[in-house]
Structure 1
Amino acid sequence: MEPTVFTPVDLGPVRLRNRTVKAATFEGRAPDGQVTDALIDYHLAPARGGIGLTTVAYLAVAPEGRTHAEQIVVGEHSLAGLARLTAAVHEEGAAVAGQVGHAGPVANGRSNGVHAIAASSMPSPLSMQMIRAATEQDLTRVTRAYVDAARVLVRAGFDVLELHMAHSYLISSFLAPGLNRRKDRWGGPLERRAKLARQVARAVREEVGDAVALTAKVSVSDGFRGGVTTEEGVAFAQLLEADGHLDALQLSGGSSLMNPMYLFRGDTPVEEFAAAMPAIVRWGMKTPVGRGFMKRYAFEEAYFKEKALQFRKELAMPLMLLGGINRLETMEQAMADGFDLVAMGRAVLREPDLVNKLQAGTATQGICIHCNRCMPTIYSGTRCVEWAPEEAIRIQ
């Protein structure tokens, strides 16, 4: 008998009450790099609304790995707040994941006060600084930082750790041949470009054992020339599966640095996004390069499904389908197609209680209109402006 989306499932050592995941969407609720009541409330809403697993984003492993300064760096200083968050979510019957990562070239070095690093040097459209190529010492330090962060997050009570390997963040910048021009052991063929990802996954698994589930967010396609293609994405996923360190993969796409709308699809709120950015970035968005940053892609339900099915065909490990999932029939078809979980972002941001509505039969789909006006709110408290216009002031 095929499972339904409401059937419990084991994700590694963790039992989830159903197969729905609130995908990591940056909350904008940690202005001082600490867990706030507002951040806890943000995750309590979908937990009370029936979600099986809510994902805290974005938990940086190092100061230069933040996308910008108002972000949590995992460490002893943030442990108590993170533990308070996980305890609150658990009281509502949901599990909680922490998205663990290093932003690499997606980091705003000017905001962070330290230059960003990437596979190869490149100009930053965010800070208007040069991003430097990571050294061997950097990569050793960053790998150790992942391990240290994982240790803290296990102590804080997280059920799942999600390693961020997509969206042109540090690990993803090594995977993309257009961003990785290295001639050393970290560049060239896919096996070498994948070394950092595999090294981090192995090191974290050796640290956490079976105390938590360990997953990774990977790309079905980066959506830009020189990015990871679907063919290379499948080959990379096969390497991860063969290593045996991960309990599941979440299939995403696009690049926060090169082509963010490839992930989101739908309307492109260019003016609203520019208005929310720092002045130097607003200036950059007026340049020819900046104007081409926010490409336009029509929204369609489950827009990554066809590419994700290629992963499903070639892999045996559990997979999470992501990308424009709003309808119950889409979720059930995902189960029939062999996906183990479905991940939602905007749909649950718009309706935190969507899963309860679907399970009760009072709704068959979400009401998100994919206007993407939630995107510019990441700097003032991520929210659906249709659902909560009264929260248009900065959330502290």
Structure 2
Amino acid sequence: MEVSKVWEPIQIGPMMLPNRVLMGSMHVGFEKLEDGVERLAAFYAERASGEVGLIVTGGAAVCREGGMGDAYCNVYLDEHVEPLRLITAAVHEAGGKIALQLFHAGRYAHQEATGVESVAPSALQAPINRHKPREMNPAEIERTIQDFADGASRAIRAGFDAVEIMGSEGYLINQFLSPVTNKREDDWGGDFARRARFGIEVAKRVITAVGPDFPVIFRMSGLDLMPDSTTMEETLQFARMLEQAGVSALNVGIGWHESKVPTIAMMVPRGAYVWVAQQIKEAVRIPVIASNRINDLRQAEAIIAEGRSDMVSMARPFLADSQIVRKSRAGQFDEVNTCIACNQACLDHIFDGKVASCMVNPVVGREKEWALEPAMVSKRVAVVGAGPAGLEAARVLAERGHQVVIFEKQNQIGGQLNYARQVPGKEEFNETLRYYKTQLNQMGVQVRLEMAATADSLIEEGFEEVVVATGVNPRRPDIPGVDLPHVVSYDRVFEKKAKVGRRVAIVGAGGIACDLSHLLVQDQPISPQSAQYLLEYRILDAKAMHQLSHSGRKVFMLRRGKHVGTGLGKTTRWAVLANLKRHGVEMVTQIDYKEITAEGVIIRNQEQEQLVQADTVIIAAGATPNDSLFHALQGRLPVHVIGGAKEAGELDAKRAIYEGALVGRAI
């Protein structure tokens, strides 16, 4: 597909942008580190070098109580200006433009991090916060409005090209607008006009503070995804009010952090919320920016060409590939390391209080120390195993100038990524495999499929170093009856080497078991086109369609421990488990296994025995490192072990790719 509309320049207030791609705001947490500002500067400069139209920073707190902690990016004191200049200088030197996001968390702020009590329109505790906020009085509201304006003034002094007011995702301005969180009956709450007043006053005050020659973008909530919250009619009215107030553009956000609807996880279809931006675009004349699950410039082109928005916001895709815009402009779409919306190293890290990175691109946050250096001596290196660890090791080694050969005993590369990509809603893993195939081919890596390397063969062939990335062996638990013919290992199911019956008991309830359950209950998916046809002509209703998309299997997940889905990230685990429950998967925990019989699995639960009837029993109870080659090579050749072969656990592509990147730089 020819991409052209997305490359057209666009006017955002007084600012002209070279294209219509915005790098959306992300909290990356580098500020916590000793050289955090320098890391942020390097991070943003790298993205600016990739030709993105405009970068928006992570939220900068406009007051202490509105931030996320002392080490957070702040703009509420004059002393915050100088460090921020490092960021703008680096971005401008790389040829880019950058906006500072003006941020107040409201009831989402954690007082243990800020050191002060959190505040909100009403004293209502957020389910994702341990502390109840204090209701703001009118004087505090007025002061907070001025805090936004003062933050904008400091942004100009720090050299930013624009500001974005954060009024989405359930933060303070959104809390004022929504009847869910604003129960006030004074001038700042009650009917819609009074609930909207705070956000409008912030916009007006910021615009006055910065003057007519400085762009002000407003990140508004297009859809709260909260029961009984702001209606679409009110949202469109709010958009028109913001336009009248003088904002330069509207960036449309989706959902609150506490919402029970996934909005940016892999299971969310690409561009699922563009329709919201389209409705807002039809209500105003200023530029409107669409966001959420847009990860391909060809997709962005279609959105803009069809008139559904004026720009697109892509955030995490710039973690996965800092050069996504430049590569796409050159037509190099297969060379893009596509964001797969796994959330494992970005959002999961941030919500765990860690620094953000990226599962498919662990260079994120390490731009300074991980700059790729050519190998001093080109060596002949064997990489054994073409799972995620081996693929990344081979890619980096080849890029540095080594002569690399991959040995893979299966008939395709990917290792256990080939399991994940079969699971409904996880098709994005195909993009990761496409990226590695392209990279290996371009760099001349020789890939030998259906070939199991041995220590003797590697030595005979004259390899100078070996990377062992042979993955794991599924663990076989010591349960009577485990060798019966209807008992199979999870890998055989994923590889379609085992027939699975109508009643299934899975021994194990970690991430692999969750993926397997999802696959088994939805292994007769109906195409979106067929679904639309059947619904449109009322051949089936929504309930019947749901039943049709279900395989009809009854699946039980069994676990000795208390928790299901351990190993899944906290930002996606809840959605995965809710989805499995909707499909009738039963999760039986805190049990002991007594025996597997022809009828199923006999378990002991609180001293009572129970038969879980099953015609197929699948073992998904962990794994052990497949490290025999590593031990066979020790003392004979320089050898490195990475990924599951080094440490078995849940399928951990994040650690595997990280270790591959690390060893690729070490040889």
Q: Same fold (TM over 0.5)?
A: yes
In structure 2, the partner of 1:116 is 118
Q: Which residue identity does 1:328 align to in structure 2?
A: L
Alignment of 1:146-161 (within 5 A): 146-161=148-163
In structure 1, the partner of 2:138 is 136
In structure 2, the partner of 1:376 is 348
Matched, 1:26 2:27: yes
CA contact (8 A) 1:357 1:363 kept: yes
Q: Which residue identity does 1:361 align to in structure 2?
A: G
Shift of 1:12: 1.3
Q: Once superposed, what is the RMSD of the aligned Cα atoms?
A: 2.2
Query: Would the alpha carbon gap of residues 35 and 61 (structure 1) be closer, same or farther in structure 2, given more than 3 Å must change?
Result: farther
Q: Which residue identity does 2:281 align to in structure 1?
A: R
Unaligned runs of 5+ in 2: 370-667
Using the alignment, how far apart are the partners of 2:290 and 2:168 within structure 1? 15
SS at match of 2:199: helix
Using the alignment, how far apart are the partners of 2:261 and 2:93 within structure 1? 35
CA contact (8 A) 2:225 2:261 kept: no
In structure 1, the partner of 2:516 is none
Shift of 1:123: 2.3
Shift of 1:8: 2.0
Using the alignment, how far apart are the partners of 1:366 and 1:391 within structure 2? 17
Shift of 1:229: 3.3
Moved more, 77-86 or 379-388: 379-388
For residues 304-327 of structure 1, give each alpha carbon's deviation from its aligned partner in whole angstroms, at most 9, with x where no partner exists.
Answer: 111221112222111111111122
Using the alignment, how far apart are the partners of 1:127 and 1:369 within structure 2? 28
SS at match of 2:60: strand
CA contact (8 A) 1:179 1:226 kept: no
Matched, 1:335 2:304: yes
Greater RCO between the two (CA within 8 Å, min separation 6)?
1
In structure 2, the partner of 1:264 is 264
Q: Which residue identity does 1:184 align to in structure 2?
A: D
Shift of 1:32: 7.2
After the TM superposition, which parts of structure 1 deviate over 3 Å for at least 4 consecutive aligned residues? 32-35, 124-127, 260-263, 389-392
In structure 2, the partner of 1:310 is 279
Shift of 1:57: 1.0
For residues 246-275 of structure 1, give each alpha carbon's deviation from its aligned partner in whole angstroms, at most 9, with x where no partner exists.
Answer: 00000111112x227643232xxxxxxxxx
In structure 2, the partner of 1:320 is 289
Q: Which residue identity does 2:279 align to in structure 1?
A: Q
CA contact (8 A) 1:8 1:18 kept: yes
SS at match of 2:313: strand
TM-score when normalising by structure 1: 0.86
For residues 6-35 of structure 1, give each alpha carbon's deviation from its aligned partner in whole angstroms, at most 9, with x where no partner exists.
Answer: 122221111212111110010101127996
CA contact (8 A) 2:107 2:132 kept: no
Shift of 1:137: 1.1
Q: Which residue identity does 2:306 align to in structure 1?
A: D
Shift of 1:347: 1.1
In structure 1, the partner of 2:67 is 66
Q: Which residue identity does 2:12 align to in structure 1?
A: L
Using the alignment, how far apart are the partners of 1:260 and 1:95 within structure 2? 35
Q: Which residue identity does 2:87 align to in structure 1?
A: L
SS at match of 1:219: strand
In structure 2, the partner of 1:241 is 243
SS at match of 2:333: coil
Q: Which residue identity does 1:135 align to in structure 2?
A: N
Q: Which residue identity does 1:349 align to in structure 2?
A: L
Shift of 1:380: 2.3
For residues 96-125 of structure 1, give each alpha carbon's deviation from its aligned partner in whole angstroms, at most 9, with x where no partner exists.
Answer: 011102110111112111111111101244
Using the alignment, how far apart are the partners of 1:316 and 1:226 within structure 2? 28
In structure 2, the partner of 1:352 is 322
Matched, 1:367 2:341: no
In structure 2, the partner of 1:255 is 256
Shift of 1:390: 9.2
Using the alignment, how far apart are the partners of 2:194 and 2:162 within structure 1? 27
Q: Identity of aligned pairs, percent?
A: 29
Shift of 1:360: 0.6
SS at match of 2:80: helix
Moved more, 316-325 or 327-336: 327-336
Using the alignment, how far apart are the partners of 1:153 and 1:391 within structure 2? 23
Using the alignment, how far apart are the partners of 1:33 and 1:231 within structure 2? 47
Using the alignment, how far apart are the partners of 2:363 and 2:349 within structure 1? 11
Query: Radius of gyration: which is bigger?
Result: 2
Matched, 1:301 2:270: yes
Q: Which residue identity does 1:220 align to in structure 2?
A: G
